[in-house]
Copies of this chain bind each other. A is one copy, B any other.
């Protein structure tokens, strides 16, 4: 379904690219690393076929059909980025009569107010999403909108649904107020949770086929669990990223050639940054820096740096093979200088530019590779989510870190409490 083309990487001199032999050699370690990943006891690859979870979500979706004009997700980080990616990638698949889906992933007071002003509360459903149930930004948003809903004399049980773990403040609220809730499994971290209730509930409520999403993910999950290097694309991708990083190319640009994946690139950024940016077993600070980008647009923005700046990047192109619509560029007869665009569609031009950009980078010994999707659909998107999650799990083992925690952000949370308490 998704193919990974490493030819441009193999074509480079060994200081900058990856030798095919070196890549195969590393591939032999697959069984070892797969075992290490399994030893982490993470759930992201086990949650794709829980029929009861899916049915609960679908039942809830059916039960509220037509009741709301607006869905608002209150959540941040892993509770928001996957949902935004889903919504923006699958616009073509959202049913036209679906409620509008907004995601409030910041506490910017103007943004909070702007969303509040855009809503008719009696027709609004809030999804409060926090795995810990204790995220201050999300809890603050919940307090704010709850007060507004109560002030209008509405029953909060009709307007708040919680997606949260089994402990924490929000779970207590669910019990105290008898709110509808969906679970987040204990062993699935935020940035790996898009295919749990966290992403599936909002997706289902705007009419996206969540079974198709999961079926695409399962296809790659089966690769991910295979000990055969030739078919395990998540492992292949991780090996390529790791070997290039060993050669000093630690900035990994994610550059889809489709507007549909603009927001997806931000989901990828969290996944790569938060999974790999760690202190490893030898007390070394390691990690890969994600750089979200978009083609062809950024050929007119970032490409100059990729071509002539320091050779410290890997460009991961994402190409799409077919489009739901693709108009010809109507070049007027009397314009000789634009002959090369005649009988060319926008999609063909875009694909030619992607290949040209990749090849121009290769000529300058700049490592790049291409992931190809047959099209953008719930299936391929589910597959792409899982492919990148799986690759990150392996990358964590290569880097000798725990890809599933984030100990570095605690200090900022403690200082925030201190500064606010001091003011009082």
Q: Chain B residues with Cβ under 8 A from A278's Cβ?
A: 304, 308-309
Contacts of A190 in B (CB 8 A): 300
Instruction: Say if the beta carbon of A215 comes within 8 Å of chain B.
Output: no
User: Which of B76, B114, B304, B376 has a CB less than 8 Å from the CB of A277?
Assistant: B304
Cβ distance A131 to chain B, nearest Cβ, rounded Å: 11
Interface residues of A in 359-409 (CB under 8 A from B): 359-360, 363-364, 376, 406-409
Contact status A305-B273, CB under 8 Å? yes
Q: Measured between alpha carbons, how far is A111 from B295 in the docked complex, in Å? A: 13
Report chain B residues within 8 Å CB of A64.
Answer: none
The segment from A52-60, A198-206, A222-230, A335-343 that touches chain B is A335-343
- Complex interface: stretch among A34-42, A236-244, A346-354: A346-354
Closest approach, in angstroms, between the C-beta of A367 and any C-beta of chain B? 14
Give 1 or 0 for each of A58-71: 1 = CB within 8 Å of chain B CB.
00000000000000
Size category of the A interface is: 35 or more
- Answer whether A417 and B310 are a contact pair too, CB < 8 Å, given A296-B106, A346-B112: no
Taking the nearest CB of chain B, how far is it from the CB of A129, in angstroms? Answer: 12
Q: Which residue of B lies closest to A411 (CB)?
A: B360
User: Chain B residues near A269 (CB, 8 Å)?
Assistant: 301-302
Q: What is the bound-complex CA distance between A269 and B421, given in angstroms?
A: 36
Contact of A274 (CB < 8 Å), options: B81, B301, B352? B301
Q: How far is the CB of A412 from chain B (nearest CB, A)?
A: 4
Please give the distance in Å from A316's CB to the nearest CB on chain B.
15
* B143 contacts A331, C-beta separation under 8 Å: yes
Q: Which residues of B contact A81 (CB under 8 A)?
A: 301
> Which of B114, B311, B376, B409 lies in contact with A299, CB distance below 8 A?
B409
Q: Known: A76-B297, A308-B407. Contact between A110 and B352, CB under 8 A?
A: no
Set B92, B277, B304, B417: member contacting A309, Cβ < 8 A: B277
User: Which residues from B are CB-within-8-Å of A355?
Assistant: 415, 419
Kindly provide the distance from the CB of A34 to the nearest chain B CB, expressed in whole angstroms.
25
Cβ 8 A contact of A415, one of B78, B346, B359:
B359
Interface presence of A136 (CB below 8 A): yes
CB distance from A96 to the nearest CB of B (A): 12
Instruction: Tell me whether A277 and B308 are in contact (CB under 8 A).
Output: yes
In the complex, the answer to whether B323 meets A110 with C-beta atoms within 8 Å is yes
List chain B residues, Cβ under 8 A from A349.
107, 136-137, 140, 416, 420
Q: In the complex, A247→B421 CA distance in Å?
A: 37
Q: Is A258 at the interface (CB under 8 A from chain B)?
A: yes
A424 on the B face (CB < 8 A)? yes
Known: A285-B311, A330-B144, A409-B300. A110 touches B324 (CB 8 A): yes
Beyond A191-B301, A274-B305, A304-B406, 19 additional pairs, beta carbon < 8 A: A76-B297, A77-B301, A106-B259, A107-B296, A109-B350, A110-B258, A112-B346, A113-B327, A137-B296, A143-B329, A143-B330, A291-B291, A299-B409, A306-B408, A307-B408, A344-B420, A356-B414, A359-B412, A364-B408
Give me 6 A-to-B residue pairs in the complex whose CB atoms sit less than 8 angstroms apart, sorted by A's number: A143-B330, A147-B330, A291-B291, A353-B412, A353-B416, A355-B415
